[in-house]
Structure 1
Amino acid sequence: MKPMPFDYARAKDVPDALAALADADAGARVMAGGQSLVPMLNLRLATFPRVVDISKIAELRERSESADAVTLGACVTHGEIEDGEAPEPAAGLMRHVAAGIAYRAVRNRGTIGGSASLADASADWVTTLLALGARFIGRGPDGEREIAAPDMFLGPYFTAMTDQELLVRIVVPKTSRDATWGYYKVTRRSGEYGLSIGAVILDPAREHASVVLGAASRTPLACTAAAAALRGAPRWTEALETALRTAIAEDLARAERPFEPHEAIMVETTILRAAAQALGVS
């Protein structure tokens, strides 16, 4: 199938993109890599009066590093992160996640900002960026504003960004040198969207633990009870596993929907395996 007719605007810079969004009728959409938007248009699952292409904006492809954080332009691709062409803030976690997204042709064009803006709860970056405590910088008619990760993802395909705002960069805090992580994704086939995703980050130097369950609900779930159980744990033990199972049940009780018994087993296993990885159990 082919998409319904729409106006196409290729922005040369961020002000040009914002002007195109401001002039468009309600429902204009931004296209970065096009790996999600174009199939939706072709299948007529979505129709928009205007598509604003931001893929050639140099500012959105910048990446930088400070002592405390890595900043990635919204149009940095999965492939660039996988290949180490962008700074790594979390001991290889982002490179690992990028390498597991779809297949290489998609990673060559798909962007981290596009994935975050789409806000598909099954997408790898949505879960990972929440676990890392990322900050999202949007720019619109009233200038720039910063959105914390817990406030960014409001529902499936729904973020805190307005239709006239553009995500310009993502700031990812660095973990300490001794931080460890685990990332476990349940899929039917390698590279597909996850049925369940577990991301665990343990940073003992900062007395910090982060556990996020993705893909299994409308939005990623910050598993605060599981994180508390893992905080300060030196190694994987049977006692820790028992405590984690109890904590995970507590976290799932706060989820947006109830889980069927088989789903509860799947998501519990996902988090347990990610936690075990973070503590050095392969």
Structure 2
Amino acid sequence: MKAAAFEYVRAASLPEALREFGDSSNGAKPIAGSQSMGPMLNLRLARPARVVDISRVDELRSVTAVGDLVRVGAAITHAEIEDGNYELLRNDFMQYVASGIAYRAIRNRGTIGGSLAHADPAADWPLALSTLDARIELAKTGGKRQVRASEFMLGAFTTLLEEGEIISAVLVPKIGVSLRWGYYKLCRKTGEFAHASASAAFDAQTGLARVVLGALDGPPMALDVLAQSIAKQGPSAATAEAIAASVADAMPNADAIDRSMHEAVVERCLAQALGSSAR
């Protein structure tokens, strides 16, 4: 099946793009890497009257330092993060996550903003950015606002985005040498969407302590009790019993196999973060 007819517009600037989205009569939708919207168009799950290409908008293609944060433009691709094209993003965690997203052909085109906006529960960036307590910058003709990454996704393929609003950037805390992290997912085969995933980050200097479950029926779920116990007591708090209890609380309606897979990814990502060979 091929897409229904639509008008194509390439935006030269963010204000130009926002004007297109602000006029609801256009029925406009943004497109950048086209790795999510493209299939939806071809399957006719989305039928916009106009598609606005934002892949070359300078403000969405820059990476800059903003105080103790790194502002990552929404049209930065997974491959650019994986390859370390931007000095501010040359850190183990972001590059590791980017390198495991789908296949290289998809990473070459797919963007960090597009992944977040699509809000697939099995996607990598919603989980990883929630773990880092990042912020998402949303823009429309009336101005910009920021929301926590952990609050942006409301459910499967459902977000806080309002009519006429797009993701313009992600604001990620600068990652220092004291950060200890883990990221693990179970896939049927390399490149496929995860059946279970988990991420952990601990930083004694900033007080960051996060353990987050991904690949659920809805948005990622933070295991706050487990994370705080580990932050206070150290690796000894990451027992099999504590992990199982936290996963059960987060997934009360899951079957035993699903819970078992999520327990396994939590255990393995904590081993990465807390073990002697922690990154």
User: In the TM superposition, what are the counterparts of 1:97-136 in structure 2 within 5 Å?
Assistant: 97-136=97-136
**Letter matched to residue 253 of structure 2:** P
Aligned residue in 2 for 1:223: 223
TM-score by length of 2: 0.92
How many Å apart are 1:54 and its aligned residue?
A: 0.5
- Structure 1 runs not aligned, ≥5 long: none
Q: Percent of pairs identical after alignment?
A: 40
**Contact 1:17-1:52 at 8 Å conserved across structures:** yes
**Letter matched to residue 71 of structure 2:** T
* 2:268 maps to which of 255, 273, 277: 273
In 2, the alpha carbon distance for the partners of 1:26 and 1:222 equals 38
In 2, the alpha carbon distance for the partners of 1:250 and 1:209 equals 15
User: In the TM superposition, what are the counterparts of 1:1-282 in structure 2 within 5 Å?
Assistant: 1-25=1-25, 28-66=28-66, 68-88=68-88, 91-234=91-234, 236-237=235-236, 240-242=237-239, 245-255=241-251, 258-280=253-275
**Letter matched to residue 52 of structure 2:** V
In 2, the alpha carbon distance for the partners of 1:20 and 1:26 equals 7
TM-score by length of 1: 0.91
Which range moves more in the overlay, 71-80 or 13-22? 13-22
In 1, the alpha carbon distance for the partners of 2:60 and 2:12 equals 11
CA distance 1:229–1:42, change in 2 (3 Å):
same
In 2, the alpha carbon distance for the partners of 1:26 and 1:216 equals 34
In 2, the alpha carbon distance for the partners of 1:247 and 1:187 equals 20
In 2, the alpha carbon distance for the partners of 1:188 and 1:91 equals 28
How many Å apart are 1:232 and its aligned residue?
A: 4.1
In 2, the alpha carbon distance for the partners of 1:88 and 1:222 equals 26
CA distance 1:100–1:220, change in 2 (3 Å):
same
How many Å apart are 1:169 and its aligned residue?
A: 1.0
RMSD between superposed Cα atoms in Å: 2.0
In 2, the alpha carbon distance for the partners of 1:91 and 1:75 equals 19
**Contact 1:195-1:215 at 8 Å conserved across structures:** yes
The SS at the match of 1:97 is helix
CA distance 1:90–1:109, change in 2 (3 Å):
closer
CA distance 1:57–1:170, change in 2 (3 Å):
same
CA distance 1:253–1:58, change in 2 (3 Å):
same
- Structure 2 runs not aligned, ≥5 long: none
In 2, the alpha carbon distance for the partners of 1:122 and 1:82 equals 19
In 1, the alpha carbon distance for the partners of 2:21 and 2:69 equals 30
**Contact 1:127-1:220 at 8 Å conserved across structures:** yes
The SS at the match of 2:205 is helix
**Contact 2:81-2:89 at 8 Å conserved across structures:** no
